[in-house]
Structure 1
Amino acid sequence: MSSKQIKHPGRRLLVLLVVIAIGYAALALGAATHRTSMTPGLALDLEGGTQIILTPTTTDGSTITDEDVQQAIEIIRQRVDASGVAEAQISRQGGQNIVVALPGQPSQETLELVRTSAVLYFRPVIRIIQGSATAIAQAQNQYLAKAAASASASPQASDAATQDATSAPASEPAQEPTPQATAVPTVTAEQVAQTYADVNQDGTISSDPLPATSDDHSSDEWITEQMIYDAYMTDCTAADNLTGVSQDPSKAVISCAKDGSGATYILGPADIAGTDISRASSGLETTSQGTTTNKWVVSLEFDKKGTDEFAAVSKRLLAYRDAAAASASTTTQTGSTDSQKARFAIVLDGLTLMASGFSSDVTTPITDGRVQISGSFTQAQANTLANQLSFGSLPLTFTVQSEQQISATLGIEQLRHGLIAGLVGFLLIIVYLAWQYRGLAVVAVTSLVAAAGVTYLAIALLSWAMGYRLSLAGVAGLIISIGITMDSFIIYFERIRDEVRHGRTLVAAVDEGWSHARQTIIVSDAVNLLAAVVLYFLAVGGVQGFAFTLGV
Structure 2
Amino acid sequence: MAPPTRRRRPGRTLLVLLGIVLTVFGSVFVGTKVSNASWTPGLALDLEGGTQLILTPVSSAGTPTSEDINQAISVIRQRVDASGVSEAEISRQGQRNIVVSLPGTPSQETLDLVRKSSQMDFRPVLAVDVGSPAPEPTATPTDSPTDTPTEEATPEPSASASATADGSVAGTVPGATTPTPEPSPSASSGAQSPSDAAYYLTPEVQQQFEDLDCSAEGALAGGEPGAADKAFVTCDTDGVYKYALGPIEIPGTQIDSATSGLQVLPNGGVGTEWVVNIKFTNAGTTTFAKTTERLLAQQPPQNQFAMVLDGLVISAPQVNTVIPNGQAEISGDFTQATAATLAQQLNFGSLPLTFQVESEQRVSATLGSEQLQAGLVAGLIGLVLVVIYSFLQYRALAILTVGSLVVAGVLTYGVIALLSWTQGYRLSLPGVAGLIIAIGITADSFIVYFERIRDELRDGRTLPAAVERGWDRARRTILASDAVNLLAAVVLYALSVGGVRGFAFTLGLTTVIDVIVVFLFTHPMMEIIARTRFWGGGHPLSGLDPRRLGAPERTRYVGRGKVVTGPRSTAGPEDAVEDEPVTDRKVPTPVGTGGMTIAERRAAERAAARRADAPTDAPQTTEGND
Q: TM-score, normalised by structure 2?
A: 0.51
Deviation of residue 449 (structure 1)?
Answer: 0.7
Aligned amino acid, residue 53 of structure 2 = I
Gapped runs of 5+ residues in structure 2? 142-149, 174-179, 206-221, 233-243, 247-296, 316-337, 510-626
Question: Structure 1 residues 308 and 27 mapped into 2: Cα distance closer, same or farther (>3 Å)?
Answer: same
Aligned-partner SS, 1:522: helix
1:366 aligns with: 300
In the alignment, structure 1 residue 528 sits paired with structure 2 residue 528: no
Match of 2:389 among 409, 428, 432: 432
| Cα deviation 1:188-222 (Å, max 9, x = unaligned) | xxxxxxxxxxxxxxxxxxxxxxxxxxxxxxxxxxx
1:418 deviation in Å?
Answer: 2.2
Q: Which residue of 2 aligns with 1:403?
A: 360
**Cα 1:532–1:109 shift into 2, 3 Å:** farther
Question: Following TM superposition, by how much is the alpha carbon of 1:70 offset from its aligned partner in structure 2, in angstroms?
Answer: 2.9
Counterparts of residues 255-266 of structure 1 (less than 5 Å): none
Looking at structure 1, the residues matched to 302 and 389 of structure 2 have their Cα atoms a distance apart, in angstroms, of: 68
Paired residue for 1:251?
none
How far, CA to CA, are the matches of 2:425 and 2:453 in structure 1? 40
Match of 1:66 in 2: 66
CA distance in 1, matches of 2:156, 2:9: 57
Query: 1:512: which partner in 2?
Result: 469
- Cα distance change of structure 1 residues 46 and 96 upon mapping to structure 2, 3 Å threshold: same
- Cα deviation code 1:335-383 (max 9, x no counterpart): 8545885567999766438516789xxx96116999999xxxxxxxxxx
- Return closer, same or farther for 1:112/1:8 CA change in 2, 3 Å cut-off: farther
Q: Percent identity?
A: 50
Question: Residue type matched to 1:474 in 2?
Answer: G
- Partners in 2 of 1:432 and 1:28 — Cα distance? 37
- The answer (yes or no) to whether the contact 1:54–1:97 under 8 Å persists in 2 is yes
| Residue type at the aligned position of 2:44 | A
What is the correspondence of 1:69-84 to structure 2 with a 5 Å cutoff? Answer: 69-84=69-84
Residue 284 of structure 1 aligns to which amino acid in structure 2?
P
Deviates more, 1:392-401 or 1:343-352: 343-352
Cα shift at 1:113: 4.7
Change (3 A) 1:495 1:89: same
The 5 A counterparts of 1:294-373 are 302-303=156-157, 308=170, 321-323=183-185, 336-337=191-192, 351-352=226-227, 355=231, 365-366=299-300
Structure 1 residue 460 displacement after superposition: 0.5
Q: What is the aligned partner in structure 2 of residue 418 from structure 1?
A: 375
Contact 1:44 1:88 in 2 (8 A): yes
Deviation digits for residues 40-64 of structure 1, max 9, x if unmatched? 0011111111222211133521x43
Q: How far did residue 483 of structure 1 move?
A: 0.7
Give 1:34-183 correspondences, 5 Å limit: 35-61=36-62, 63-107=63-107, 110-116=110-116, 118-123=118-123
SS at match of 1:36: coil
CA contact 1:301–1:371 (8 Å) conserved in 2: no
CA shift at 1:99, angstroms? Answer: 0.3
Query: Offset at 1:435?
Result: 0.6
CA deviation string 1:289-334 (max 9, x = no partner): 7599xxxxxx9995369974899xxxxxx9992447xxxxxx9xxx
Task: Say if 1:433 and 1:441, in contact at 8 Å, map to a contact too.
Answer: yes
Alpha-carbon offset, residue 20 of structure 1: 0.8
1:100 aligns to what SS in structure 2? strand
Greater shift in the superposed pair: 462-471 or 409-418: 409-418
**AA aligned opposite 2:412:** T
Are 1:308 and 1:367, in contact at CA under 8 Å, matched by a contact in 2? no
Determine helix, strand or coil for the equivalent of 2:76.
Answer: helix
Distance 1:109 1:291, change over 3 A: farther
Q: Displacement, 1:444?
A: 1.4
Deviations 1:118-163 (A, max 9, x none): 4332336xxxxxxxxxxxxxxxxxxxxxxxxxxxxxxxxxxxxxxx
Work out the CA distance in 2 between the residues paired with 1:484 and 1:468: 23
CA contact (8 A) 2:155 2:314 kept: no
Residues of 2 paired with 1:55 and 1:91: CA distance? 12
AA matched with 2:455: D
Note closer, same or farther for the CA distance 1:92–1:117 as it changes in structure 2 (3 Å cut): same
Match of 2:255 in 1: none
Cα distance in 1 for partners of 2:245, 2:33 equals: 46
Residues 352, 2 of structure 1: CA spacing in aligned structure 2 closer, same or farther, 3 A cutoff? farther
Partner of 1:28: 29
1: CA distance between counterparts of 2:66 and 2:81? 23
Higher mean C-alpha deviation, range 43-52 or range 394-403:
394-403
Q: Is the 8 A contact 1:434 1:441 kept in 2?
A: yes
Shift of 1:468: 0.5
Partner of 2:498: 541
Matches within 5 A, 1:404-483: 404-408=361-365, 410-483=367-440
Pair 1:22–1:341, CA change in 2 (3 A): closer
Task: Report the residue type matching 2:100 in the other structure.
Answer: V
Quote the residue 2:132 is aligned against. Answer: 283
Q: CA deviation at 1:546?
A: 1.0
| 1:194-209 matches, cutoff 5 A | none
2:450 to 493, 496, 505: 493
1:501 is displaced (CA, Å) by 1.1
Change in CA separation of 1:83 and 1:510 when aligned onto 2, cut-off 3 Å:
farther
* Aligned-partner SS, 2:106: coil
Counterpart-to-counterpart distance in 1, 2:37 and 2:94: 38
**C-alpha distance in 1 between matches for 2:404 and 2:100:** 41
Check whether the contact 1:90–1:100 (CA below 8 A) recurs between aligned residues.
yes
Q: Report deviation, 1:29.
A: 2.8
1:504-542 deviations in Å (ceiling 9; x for gaps): 112211111111121221111111111111111211111
Change (3 A) 1:16 1:322: same
Return the offset for 1:495.
1.3
Q: How many pairs align? A: 368
Deviations 1:215-271 (A, max 9, x none): xxxxxxxxxxxxxxxxxxxxxxxxxxxxxxxxxxxxxxxxxxxxxxxxxxxxxxxx9
Give the distance between the partners of 1:54 and 1:281, measured in 2 at CA.
35
Q: CA RMSD in A?
A: 4.5
What amino acid is aligned across from residue 459 of structure 1 in structure 2?
I
Report the AA paired with residue 123 of structure 2.
R
- Tell me, what secondary structure is at the counterpart of 2:183? helix
Equivalent residue, structure 2, for 1:265 = none
**Cα distance between partner residues in 1 of 2:140 and 2:51:** 42
SS of structure 1 residue aligned to 2:121: strand
The answer to whether the 8 A contact 1:302-1:369 is kept is no
SS in structure 1 opposite 2:122?
strand
SS in 2 for 1:366: coil
Distance 1:434 1:48 in 2: 41
Whole-angstrom distance in 2 between the partners of 1:22 and 1:548: 22
Cα distance in structure 1, aligned partners of 2:477 and 2:395:
23
C-alpha distance in 2 between matches for 1:106 and 1:446:
40
Paired amino acid for 1:92: R
Q: Distance in 1 between matches of 2:99 and 2:454?
A: 57
CA contact (8 A) 2:40 2:417 kept: yes
CA distance in 1, matches of 2:137, 2:299: 17
Tell me, in whole angstroms, the C-alpha distance in 1 between the residues paired with 2:139 and 2:478: 49
